[in-house]
Structure 1
Amino acid sequence: MLDMFFSNSLKLSLPTTTSKYKNLVEKMNSREKDLKKLGDKELKSLVKPLREKLIQEGSGNNEVQVEAFSLVREATLRVLGIRHYDVQLVGGLVLNEGQIAEMKTGEGKTIVALLPTFLNALYGKGVHVITVNEYLARRDAEYVGRVHKFLGLSVGLIQSEMDPKERKQNYQCDVVYLTNNELGFDYLRDNLAFTKNDIVQRPFFYCVVDEIDSVLIDEARTPLIISGPTKSPVDKYKKSTKLANALQKDIHYLVDEKNQNATLLEEGIEICEQALSVSDLYSAEDPWIPYLLNSIKAKELFKLNTHYILNSEKEVIIVDEFTGRTMEGRRWGDGLHQAVEAKENVPIQDEAQTLASITYQNLFLLYEKLSGMTGTAKTEEGEFEKIYNLKTITIPTHRPLKRKDFPDVIYKNQYLKWQAIARECAEIYALGRPILVGTTTIEKSELLATLLEEYGIPYRLLNAKPENAESEADIIAQAGALKSVTIATNMAGRGTDIILGGNVEYSIKAQLKKFIKKLPSANYEEFLRNETENTHLGKFLPFFKQIDEAWFKDEINIQKLEAVLNNENLDDASDNIVYEFGTLLHGIIEEQLKFQESQKIKVAELGGLHVIGTERHESRRIDNQLRGRSGRQGDKGSSRMFLSLDDRIVRLFGGENIVSMMENLGLDDDTPIQSSILNKSLDSAQKKIESYYFDARKQLFEYDEALNIQRNGIYTERKRVLEAVSLRDWIIEYGERTLYDISIATKNSDFLGDRKNLFYHSVNQITGLHYNFGLAKKEVEIEQIDIALKQSFEVLYALKELQLETIENGLMRELERSFLLQQVDKAWQEHLQKITALKDSIRWRAYGQRDPLTEYKKESYNLFVTMLIQIRHRVVYLLMRSRVFMEQR
């Protein structure tokens, strides 16, 4: 029965780029028969010698790869009922080399990741599998993670709601599933930790990034930031919003949609200065210009139900433009979020002061070995190679692609476009073919839903609004069923295959849920928690719990369910309900498998899944991801994009050429253009946008590179502080260098009076040293005093140490660590603020014929050196001037 569903006959035919892997795959296939003869215990016993061989010879050794991949393939078949295709083995080999495997949607990237993660996890250093959202991380850890557990590895999962203790336990596992956000924020939090025990992560070793283009390209435009609250000038935001609403576009200000910027014109500046009763909006003491520009951006560029939504608590929640998901806890920086809150007239939350930050580029370059997989990486292969030193290798599909991509059609306005989309949905729905419609915003998904209601077409809606929060996986899984119409806001990283005829495993799950409701327990979940022996179903409680774990926590697997059923002697059960349940489960599986197969044949005969795109995205990859939902594993399918002249990409990047083309052809308003010339024009526009964003990401990376050297230095120093048993020698060195700094500063000063007095005063203020050098008797050179001062400092420090140790053993060591960490963190936060201000102003250097990046590197280095000196001085001052008071009882 399961062979029908999971069969995958193989014949390997590789293009030149991947032909070098053919011999390795053939060796893996030749080992398969021998491994099949082994029992589970014998199979698992092969792991230990493989680990020893790996540590001796390395993961690049061909024999080690063959043994490991063969082992994982056999384990996956036994645990999940799925056998790796030969092309999936090739994908695993590419990932193990630290490269990007481009594999089309539906080619099974999730189980491909099992191969290199198992092999590299044998080193015992920890392997990370990065996914784009928490649902996929949890699903993969619970479902495919069982293969790793079967082979004796530990599997960890990081979720946003976990406390530090749970996180630390999970990061210690051999294979850890998590999102890029959690990885980055945990890294930053670890480098703000106050004790060694607060650190949750291990050093980064090997990483596989699922949807690597989404993580390292789309999300790499903005850095990850951990911030602390600072008081927001609420009044300024409110006044700026009122002024922005009163000002008129192109008269008082200009808006650059391409670059997402706004500029006040002279007339607008005058009106604002009069309204605010200020003489200069750009005043350094009381600047108004950033608040006004943010309010104009909020008004013109950031739209409700497109860029953000309002939740039930009236909070502004950002919507990810690439995935269509809400980004809880994320806020726009530099006061933009507060400006949007003022625009929507909701409570304005505090501004944020940066405590720590890192770009995704520099975060993932921390790994010893990095790899990734996606269906759409070739369009960005240049960026992957330049920034991350990752080559992109296209893996052939298991079966030939049969999807037909029709040319785009373009209408004169939005109204005509949406009417045409609704008509196309009606025509295809009448045939019975499944339809998937991808929209770019929540607003547009709801517009189409309203139109379909007028046509009487049933649909399922998937977008970021909480009220539409039907299970994402359920909606996508059944998008290939007969007469299914699915509207989804963006399809990037949805993670669930669309199977023609519907997903049989989700269908079975739905049937089981219906049957569960018939059980005599008032509440099924309560029944599962009931450990009482008096329950007439009590002896079957473990059986029900296994069913619950397998089916009601998204750990969906037919083979496991059948194994559970076969292990229970249901025929001899005296309880009719349990017997009925078991019999029904067998029946449901058999019936649903046959039904799904017949449905799949019907849908394929009708032409497969039809994908409709309602707008071109700025990135070709996002469009390709939408199209890629159709034509999975050699299935039939088709796709078409519907556009209008007032779509953003057409309007901003080539609209005039297309308008003149329509006028020259003399077409009616209702007649769309459909031509290969149009498609080429739009492809060219998308390439320009991609090039623009690549330059922006490259600039972000180049500027952060200079800061990254400093960040690594500070974080390395911080780690040494946490791990050191004693910091005494460290502080003594700080004191000696402080004295030297004072000496140099005094000698180089322009002070015209008695330099020795200045010198002694500085020494006394910072170190607390009171030393009489007999100034009245004779002149003493400062160089001679340096040696005496250093000796005196050591004596004074020893006395301070003795005094504190008499109060409490180890107190001096704790004060050293505490003061040092406090001052490092405080100085770094101040440094980040100065760096932000430097970035904002440095571009003006170009007008003086100086390279802004070179100037930035010089000045940021000078700021960093100054910061290090300040840390030394502050730590010495605090330690020498500190007083400990005993509480009287």
Structure 2
Amino acid sequence: MLKKTIMNNYKSIVEAIKEVDYKSLCDEELLSKSNRLKERASKGELTSELFIGGFALVKEAVKRTLGFEVYDVQLLAAVALNDRKLIEMQTGEGKTLTAVFPAYINGIFKKGVHILTFNDYLAKRDALWMKPIYESLGLTVGFIQENMSINEKKQAYDCDITYVTAKEAGFDFLRDSICYRKEDLIHRPFHFAIIDEADSILIDEARVPLVIASSSDEKELNLRKVREAVATLKPAFDYTTDEYSINVYLTDSGIDHIEESLGCGNLYAEENFDLLRQVNSALYADVLLEKDIDYIVRDGKIEMVDEFTGRVAKNRHWPDGLQGALETKENLDVQTKGRIITQITLQHFIGLYEGVAGMTGTAVDAEYELYDVYGKEIAVIPSNRKSIRKDLPNYVFTHKEAKYEALVKEIKKVHLTGQPILIGTSSVKESSDLAEQLLGNGVNCQVLNAKNDELEAKIIERAGVLGAVTVSTNMAGRGIDILLGGPEGEEREKIKDLGGLYVIGTNLHESLRIDKQLKGRSGRQGDPGITRFFISLEDELIVKYGIQNIIPEKRMPRQTNEALSNPIFNYKINQVQRIVQGKNSDLRRELYRFAFILNDQRQCMYNNRIEIINGEFNDEILHKDFSTLYEKLKLKYTDTEIEQFKRNLRLFHIDKGWADYLDKIANIKEGIHLNILGGKNPLTVFNITLVEEFEILQQEIEESIKNDYIKLQNSEITFEEINERNKPPLSTWTYFVNDNSLDGILGIGMLAIVAVVEVGKLLGNKSLKKHFSALMFDAEAVYYKLFNKNI
């Protein structure tokens, strides 16, 4: 949290901005003042006068173009953003307008400012909405959409201000990292970014890799057979799950059953390791991934549901083995596998910017992590109007049936008054089931989930009108603004008298921030509002993380249909949520340490490519080591053609080598925790291995280039054939992948599998099978003990 002295300094700056009066200037004079600021900025000047004058210009431009009076708290937030801070600003307080101020100040330096939005719709909407402000002050503004052409994107990125999602900006960076020509580069150097919904991008999605892959015709031929074998396993007898249902494991009888069904011999023999992966992927898909909760099937394809937003995670895949297992489970065609060419996490992509600021409604709960990983302090901005929302205590029930009975009863009672109600559910399935219950009880409602996300704008637009009942997944929990009475404000005062929007949550999330986002849909800008959560001791979060370990057995209540009156249950449930949130935060920080050196290596390769594309790299292999070949080529080809040949040859082998390297590192990471068994620190071993392997990669790239020159010299291949080969992939596709190497859905389970395989090699037989289940759980315990965690 920011020190009080810093906030007081910001407030004094706000007062200084308000003292600058440009009301008497005509539009041309206002533009002229802005142009003079740009001239001073172009000379590298950065003074408080320029900063304060610039903010005052924007303040006046906002009033003239949009007719808005800028609140003091918006100026305060803008000053903090310009100081590279993360601001916590409540729903409806005008974050979109606030971002214009620091965007302008940084935009006049003509290096480019990116405002990273939550989705494509907001990128376009906000750019067009704020465009008159920027243009009145002589700045250009553009926006990026996923389906734009390269030229359209280049034009947008060349603007002073560009609105774009973090994901699409990241994908465009990856596209730049595999292009061969300077004119195909989309991005400029990364100058300054303002991140909307910053906690979502910097924390919730930070570890999700963005991937570019080249298409191939490889198929997983064994998946059908594996699926058939796994489908006949008996729960509890042939497989079991850990206490949190995070991983699933074969038992001794399950191993025997799979080996007999597939006729593979020892499933844990080294030659069966790929088959073992397929078996565990199929088992995980069958047991732990649920349709209409973790994914939906639409238009013959698996579509992942984002656990944080409730939306379809567009273009996101699970790792190939698990993705194929899901497709097989749902009797769909197994999609073509792709070879990963390059990838980057959002966390590391954001790190490319010289300066970063962010805004969200929920940052304080992640304060430690945001500072520890990103070095970002949080400025909590007071509301323009004091919040009068009532956050009522949770209703806690002993079992789900009682919870839903009370929930439907409450909705019926409130609906009769006309007060609008928003119900936040945890999954597509739950939202659909609850809507059916409501309809069966005479309550008409709108349903918003991943299956009808195209109707989101229309449904949300009417969610605040009199008598509205909206059942939604987390889609309604972030990035939306529900207006009382709808856009026209129909019967707004009557709705306020009824208590405003009533927000009901049906489950607590692992992250307290997600619950707060849902609550934040109510009580906008001083409006009244009410929030309450209905939860039961059978809810997933509470069962998964074992509230029975926190509440003594003698204090556990008997089953009853009434809400529990003792506040101890609410307290203990909140304690579980805080523990889980802390555990997830600790794990993310540890995983960041594993990716630190790899990201430096990725940036090194990218910088190397840019030097080559820009003609700044002096490649002398052909001249020095193959002088005879060089003289021969000069007789047939121009200097320009030879230089292009050399450049493309090096780019080709860099790309091929890097793709091979990523695959190798992924395999190394899979088994790195085996070092625990030898008493070594896995992080230290991994980082040393990365440094050694990267040196080998550089040598292999040089050797591959020389080998091609040797083949050319010996007439084993022609100049034209190499030229034809040395091109970017003709077919690429982008996607996100839930990385399963360390932190993904199979991470800890795969650690145990690898441990079993390695020990099995030492024993040389299958006598280890009877100890299999114990080793699985021991491996998880060892993993957490490594990071000083108690489970």
- Provide the residue aligned with 1:449 in structure 2: 435
- Provide the residue aligned with 1:298 in structure 2: 285
Inter-partner Cα distance in structure 2 for 1:665 and 1:336: 39
Name structure 2 gaps, 5 residues minimum: 722-791
Inter-partner Cα distance in structure 1 for 2:166 and 2:534: 33
Which of 41, 47, 50 is residue 37 of structure 2 equivalent to?
50
User: 3-state SS of the aligned residue for 1:465?
Assistant: helix
Mark the structure with the bigger radius of gyration: 1
Matched, 1:393 2:379: yes
Map 1:316-395 → 2, pairs under 5 A: 316-395=302-381
- Provide the residue aligned with 2:239 in structure 1: 253
- Provide the residue aligned with 1:469 in structure 2: 454
Inter-partner Cα distance in structure 1 for 2:621 and 2:604: 16
Matched, 1:18 2:7: yes
Indicate conservation of the 8 Å contact 1:249/1:255, yes or no.
no
Which of 195, 217, 236 is residue 222 of structure 2 equivalent to?
236
| Deviation, structure 1 residue 475 | 2.3
User: 3-state SS of the aligned residue for 1:639?
Assistant: strand
Inter-partner Cα distance in structure 2 for 1:126 and 1:856: 37
Name structure 1 gaps, 5 residues minimum: 1-13, 505-595, 736-792
Map 1:432-511 → 2, pairs under 5 A: 432-466=418-452, 469-470=454-455, 472-491=456-475, 494-504=478-488
Inter-partner Cα distance in structure 1 for 2:67 and 2:402: 49
User: 3-state SS of the aligned residue for 1:437?
Assistant: strand
| Deviation, structure 1 residue 265 | 2.1
Matched, 1:800 2:632: yes
Letter in 2 for 1:30: E
- Provide the residue aligned with 1:601 in structure 2: 493
| Deviation, structure 1 residue 283 | 3.5
User: 3-state SS of the aligned residue for 1:285?
Assistant: helix
User: 3-state SS of the aligned residue for 2:212?
Assistant: strand
Inter-partner Cα distance in structure 1 for 2:248 and 2:493: 55
Inter-partner Cα distance in structure 2 for 1:647 and 1:886: 65
Inter-partner Cα distance in structure 1 for 2:528 and 2:296: 37
CA deviation string 1:491-530 (max 9, x = no partner): 46743322222222xxxxxxxxxxxxxxxxxxxxxxxxxx
Aligned CA RMSD, in angstroms, stands at: 2.2
User: 3-state SS of the aligned residue for 1:130?
Assistant: strand
Letter in 1 for 2:470: T
| Deviation, structure 1 residue 330 | 1.7
Q: Which has the higher mean CA deviation after the structures are superposed, 687-696 or 859-868?
A: 687-696
Inter-partner Cα distance in structure 2 for 1:221 and 1:492: 23
Letter in 2 for 1:677: I
- Provide the residue aligned with 1:38 in structure 2: 25
Identity of aligned residues (%): 36
Pair 866,15 (structure 1): closer, same or farther in 2 beyond 3 Å: closer
Inter-partner Cα distance in structure 1 for 2:673 and 2:91: 42
Inter-partner Cα distance in structure 1 for 2:6 and 2:421: 35
Inter-partner Cα distance in structure 1 for 2:350 and 2:245: 27
Letter in 1 for 2:81: L
User: 3-state SS of the aligned residue for 1:431?
Assistant: coil
- Provide the residue aligned with 1:610 in structure 2: 502
Indicate conservation of the 8 Å contact 1:658/1:678, yes or no.
no
Q: Which has the higher mean CA deviation after the structures are superposed, 700-709 or 473-482?
A: 473-482
Indicate conservation of the 8 Å contact 1:211/1:493, yes or no.
no
Inter-partner Cα distance in structure 2 for 1:659 and 1:454: 37
Matched, 1:27 2:16: yes
Inter-partner Cα distance in structure 1 for 2:600 and 2:719: 41
- Provide the residue aligned with 1:866 in structure 2: 696
Indicate conservation of the 8 Å contact 2:22/2:60, yes or no.
yes
Pair 687,17 (structure 1): closer, same or farther in 2 beyond 3 Å: farther
- Provide the residue aligned with 1:836 in structure 2: 666
Indicate conservation of the 8 Å contact 2:305/2:313, yes or no.
yes
Give the TM-score taking structure 2 as reference length: 0.87
Indicate conservation of the 8 Å contact 1:728/1:813, yes or no.
no
- Provide the residue aligned with 1:637 in structure 2: 529
Matched, 1:646 2:538: yes
1 or 2 for the larger relative contact order (CA 8 Å, sep ≥6)? Answer: 2
Indicate conservation of the 8 Å contact 1:132/1:210, yes or no.
yes
User: 3-state SS of the aligned residue for 1:250?
Assistant: coil
Pair 443,252 (structure 1): closer, same or farther in 2 beyond 3 Å: same
| Deviation, structure 1 residue 104 | 1.1
Inter-partner Cα distance in structure 1 for 2:440 and 2:208: 41
Matched, 1:190 2:190: no
CA deviation string 1:777-797 (max 9, x = no partner): xxxxxxxxxxxxxxxx4x424
Indicate conservation of the 8 Å contact 2:424/2:477, yes or no.
no
Pair 136,411 (structure 1): closer, same or farther in 2 beyond 3 Å: same
Indicate conservation of the 8 Å contact 2:167/2:346, yes or no.
no
Indicate conservation of the 8 Å contact 2:465/2:486, yes or no.
yes
Matched, 1:147 2:104: no
Pair 485,17 (structure 1): closer, same or farther in 2 beyond 3 Å: farther
Map 1:486-885 → 2, pairs under 5 A: 486-491=470-475, 494-504=478-488, 596=489, 599-656=491-548, 664=555, 669-724=560-615, 727-729=618-620, 731-732=622-623, 735=625, 793=626, 795-805=627-637, 808=638, 810-882=640-712, 883=715, 884=718
Pair 638,503 (structure 1): closer, same or farther in 2 beyond 3 Å: same
Letter in 1 for 2:515: D
Indicate conservation of the 8 Å contact 1:407/1:676, yes or no.
no
| Deviation, structure 1 residue 413 | 2.4
Letter in 2 for 1:690: Q
User: 3-state SS of the aligned residue for 2:572?
Assistant: helix
Inter-partner Cα distance in structure 2 for 1:332 and 1:665: 39
CA deviation string 1:772-830 (max 9, x = no partner): xxxxxxxxxxxxxxxxxxxxx4x42442342342xx55332122112111111111111
Inter-partner Cα distance in structure 1 for 2:191 and 2:527: 38
Inter-partner Cα distance in structure 2 for 1:447 and 1:641: 18
CA deviation string 1:808-861 (max 9, x = no partner): 553321221121111111111111111000000111101111111111111111
Letter in 1 for 2:681: D
CA deviation string 1:636-677 (max 9, x = no partner): 11110011222110112243268867x758666211124543
| Deviation, structure 1 residue 728 | 4.7
Letter in 2 for 1:651: V
CA deviation string 1:286-306 (max 9, x = no partner): 431111111111112211111
Inter-partner Cα distance in structure 1 for 2:473 and 2:199: 19
| Deviation, structure 1 residue 108 | 1.0
CA deviation string 1:310-329 (max 9, x = no partner): 112x1001111111111232
Pair 604,260 (structure 1): closer, same or farther in 2 beyond 3 Å: same
Indicate conservation of the 8 Å contact 1:322/1:492, yes or no.
no
User: 3-state SS of the aligned residue for 2:491?
Assistant: helix
Inter-partner Cα distance in structure 2 for 1:875 and 1:52: 47
CA deviation string 1:149-191 (max 9, x = no partner): 2222111111111121211111111111111110111111100
Pair 259,132 (structure 1): closer, same or farther in 2 beyond 3 Å: farther
- Provide the residue aligned with 2:89 in structure 1: 103
Indicate conservation of the 8 Å contact 1:408/1:674, yes or no.
no
Inter-partner Cα distance in structure 2 for 1:257 and 1:235: 33
Letter in 1 for 2:520: G
Give the TM-score taking structure 1 as reference length: 0.77
Inter-partner Cα distance in structure 1 for 2:582 and 2:556: 32
Letter in 1 for 2:396: I
Letter in 1 for 2:525: Q
Indicate conservation of the 8 Å contact 1:128/1:206, yes or no.
yes
